[in-house]
Amino acid sequence: MFGYPVAFVHGNMFAGLFGDGMFVRLAPSVRMALESLHGPLPFEPMAGRQSKTYTRVPDAVLADEAAIADLLAGALTFAVALPPKEKRGKR
Q: Which pTM does this prediction carry?
A: 0.87
Sorted by where each begins, the domain ranges of the chain are 6-81
Q: Is the pLDDT of residue 1 over 70?
A: no
Q: Which residue has the higher pLDDT, 1 or 66?
A: 66
pLDDT at 42 over 70: yes
The answer to whether 57 touches 71, Cβ cutoff 8 Å, is yes
Rounded CA separation 70/28 (Å): 16
2: confidence class by pLDDT, cuts 50, 70, 90: low
Which among 24, 29, 19 is positioned nearest to 7, based on CA atoms? 24
Local structure of 91: helix, strand or coil: coil
What is the average pLDDT across 17-34? 94
pLDDT score for 23: 96
